[in-house]
C-alpha cells in the first residue's frame, strides 16, 4: 500500500466527521424509517472506522484508494444488516464486517493460486463465523464453525490457512517515537489470564468499577480489537497515555477479579 494519504478517494481524511452516540442513535432511527439522507450521513460519520481498518494493511502492496472503497462496502453492509435490538455497539459489529470485506478482496487478488473448492470451503467458514458472531456475540471456535457448515474442522482449518497471506512475526505494525511494535507483540496468548477475563462472568461488574474513559479504552481494545494507536486516534490522546490508562484499568479489574 502506498504511504499514508490525507486525501483518499477524494475524501479528506483529516476532516472526517465524528458522530456522538446520541447522533448515531437518532440517525439510525431515521435510517430504519427509510431516510436515505440519514443513511448517507451515518456512512460519512463512520468513515473513520474504515480508515482505521485499512491502516492495518499498510504493509500491503494494494492501492490505498482501492482498499478504502472496499472497506466502505463492508461499512455499508454493516449498516444495512445491523440489528439495533442487540446490545452491541455498531463499531463492534462493523469492524469485523469491514475487515472481512477487505480480506476477501485481498484473497481474491492474491497471486498465489488456490483451488476453487478450497476457496468455497473457506468462504463458507467465514460466512458461518460472521453469522455465529452476530448470533452469539463472541468469536466462535473452529469446531462451532465446522458444525455450522457441516465440514470437518481439519478441512476448514486447511482451507482458511490456504487463503491467508503470509506475514512475518517481525513485521513492524507501527512506531510512536520509540521502539516499534511488531506483529508478534499483538498476538494473544490463550494461556494468559487477561484473555480469560473476557469470558469471566464477573467481567461486566469489574468494568463498571472503571472510570468512563478507561472503560471505553478497554471496550475498544478487547471487544473491538483495536490497537493502542487506533484507540489513541479515536479519543485524541497519545498512544503512551492509552497504554498507561489500559494498564491502570487492567490492574483495577485484576484486583476485583482476584
Residue the block writes with cell 480508515: 51
Q: Which of 4, 40, 46 is nearest to 21 (CA)?
A: 46
pLDDT band for position 193 (cuts 50, 70, 90): very low
pTM of the full structure: 0.42
Digit-coded pLDDT (tens) for 19-74: 888 888 888 889 888 888 988 888 888 888 888 888 887 766 777 888 888 888 88
Instruction: Please give the residue that has the higher pLDDT: either 58 or 141.
Output: 141
* CA distance linking residue 52 with residue 158, whole number of Å: 29
> What are 149-157's contacts with CB under 8 Å, separation 24+?
149/121, 149/124, 149/125, 151/121, 151/124, 151/125, 155/121, 156/121, 156/122, 156/125
For the segment 80-102, the average pLDDT, to the nearest whole number, is 83
How many CA atoms does the CB half-sphere of 55 hold within 13 Å? 19
From the list 52, 70, 66, the residue with the least C-alpha distance to 174 is 52
Residue 204 grid coordinates: 461486566
Amino acid at each position: 500500500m502506498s504511504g499514508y494519504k490525507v486525501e483518499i478517494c477524494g475524501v479528506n481524511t483529516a476532516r472526517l466527521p465524528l458522530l456522538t452516540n446520541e447522533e448515531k442513535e437518532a440517525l439510525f432511527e431515521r435510517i430504519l424509517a427509510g431516510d436515505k439522507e440519514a443513511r448517507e450521513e451515518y456512512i460519512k460519520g463512520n468513515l473513520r472506522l474504515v480508515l482505521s481498518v485499512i491502516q492495518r494493511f499498510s504493509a500491503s502492496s494494494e492501492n490505498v484508494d482501492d482498499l478504502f472503497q472496499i472497506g466502505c462496502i463492508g461499512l455499508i453492509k454493516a449498516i444495512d444488516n445491523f440489528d439495533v435490538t442487540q446490545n452491541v455497539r455498531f463499531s463492534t459489529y462493523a469492524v469485523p464486517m469491514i475487515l472481512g470485506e477487505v480480506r476477501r478482496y485481498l484473497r481474491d487478488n492474491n497471486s498465489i493460486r488456490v483451488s476453487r473448492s478450497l476457496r468455497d470451503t473457506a468462504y463458507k467458514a467465514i460466512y458461518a463465523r460472521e453469522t455465529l458472531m452476530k448470533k452469539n456475540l463472541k468469536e466462535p471456535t473452529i469446531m462451532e464453525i465446522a458444525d455450522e457448515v457441516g465440514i470437518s474442522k481439519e478441512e476448514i482449518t486447511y482451507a482458511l490457512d490456504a487463503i491467508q497471506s503470509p506475514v512475518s512475526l517481525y513485521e513492524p505494525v507501527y512506531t510512536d517515537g520509540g521502539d516499534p511494535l511488531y506483529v508478534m507483540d499483538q498476538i494473544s496468548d490463550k494461556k494468559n489470564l487477561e484473555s480469560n477475563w473476557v469470558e469471566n462472568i464477573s467481567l461486566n461488574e469489574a468494568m463498571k468499577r472503571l472510570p468512563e474513559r478507561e472503560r471505553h479504552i478497554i471496550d475498544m481494545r478487547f471487544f473491538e480489537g483495536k490497537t493502542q494507536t487506533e484507540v489513541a486516534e479515536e479519543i485524541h490522546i497519545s498512544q503512551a497515555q492509552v497504554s498507561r490508562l489500559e494498564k491502570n484499568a487492567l490492574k483495577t479489574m485484576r484486583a476485583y477479579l482476584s
